[in-house]
Amino acid sequence: ACSSRVVLSQMHPMWQEPLEVPGGERQSPIDISMRKSIFDPNLKPLVTQYDPRTCQQIWNNGYSFLVEYDDTTDKSTLRGGPLEDQFRLCQFHFHWGENNSWGSEHTVDRQLYPAELHLVHWNADKYALFEEAVVEENGLAVIGVFLKVGKTHEGLQKLVDALPAVRHKDSVVEFTKFDPSCLLPESINEYWTYAGSLTTPPLTEAVTWIIMKQPIEVSHDQLAVFRSLLFTSAEEEAQKSMVNNFRVQQPLKGRTVRSSFT
């Protein structure tokens, strides 16, 4: 899977201070201005082919909970859209707030959502390993999906029911046969795309972001279970709720955000 334990454990709690990347020209997240985004008729339809059998486990890495996929073969892939190559799904995770007023990393015309899903893929056409791809400018492709509060999301519930097992940082639980397609909105061909970075350390400028226009609906209670997770490990005295695990927004620095729709 893509999130190597060593690197993550060396990460310092970055939400206490917004980490500036020296010379960072394409940092994420950003606000997406609808009127400033450019319709690109050459953007192709996105093609996702996810095999639920590649789903392996859930891991609380102290920043979010990652649902990790076996990325040693081309069984779960993403291609099309703005992408030249085929990318392999390695994990998905979320960012959320302490209440329903905020939590997403990206915004649309400054509109905040209570949470945001990130499906992380790496360029397996050009690189042999995730660790190589994560430092290359065309190395990663992350699909972002906004969550809004509404009806219960049936597909998400299986994941929500497993979260108490990974309450503490560094806990892992087996989690299989989960098809992440159920977390995508009906229309995956209305999206914005721009060149950006990881939103957690090492903040490498390796990500082609693909942000879905249509949010998915989840219930208030489902989001409340996200907030029952902890940043802290079972050994630590002071238990800290895992909330507000989003990065501050970054300057656009002249970048263009393209849209696949008018």
Ligand X SMILES: COc1ccc(N2C[C@H](O)c3cc(S(N)(=O)=O)sc3S2(=O)=O)cc1
Q: In the chain, what is the straight-line distance between the N-terminal and C-terminal CA atoms, in Å?
A: 37
134 part of the interface to ligand X, by CB under 6 A: yes
Site stretch for ligand X (CB under 6 A), options 1-9, 38-46, 71-79, 151-159: 1-9
3 part of the interface to ligand X, by CB under 6 A: yes
241 part of the interface to ligand X, by CB under 6 A: no
Q: How far is the CB of 203 from Zn ion (least distance, A)?
A: 12
> What DSSP string runs through the chain?
--S-HHHHHH---TTSS-PPPTT-SS-S--EE-TTTSEE-TTPPPEEEE--GGGEEEEEE-SSSEEEEE--SSTTSEEEETT-SS-EEEEEEEEEE-SSTT---SSEETTB--SEEEEEEEEETTT-SSHHHHTTSTTSEEEEEEEEEESS--HHHHHHHHHGGGG-STT-EEE--S--GGGGS-S-TT-EEEEEE--SSTT--S-EEEEEESS-EEE-HHHHHHHTTSBSS-TT-SS--B-----PPP---TTPPPEES--
Residue among 88, 118, 168, 213 that touches ligand X (CB under 6 A): 118
118 part of the interface to Zn ion, by CB under 5 A: yes
Q: How far is the CB of 114 from Zn ion (least distance, A)?
A: 15
Q: Which is nearer to ligand X, 102 or 219 (CB)?
A: 102
Q: How far is the CB of 35 from ligand X (least distance, A)?
A: 26
250 part of the interface to ligand X, by CB under 6 A: no
Q: Which is nearer to ligand X, 120 or 160 (CB)?
A: 120
Q: How far is the CB of 141 from ligand X (least distance, A)?
A: 10
178 part of the interface to ligand X, by CB under 6 A: no
Residue among 78, 89, 142, 230 that touches ligand X (CB under 6 A): 142
Site stretch for Zn ion (CB under 5 A), options 117-125, 184-192, 216-224, 226-234: 117-125
- Binding footprint of Zn ion on the chain (CB under 5 A): 118
Residues near ligand X (CB under 6 A) are 2-4, 7-8, 63, 91, 118, 120, 131, 134, 142, 198-200, 202
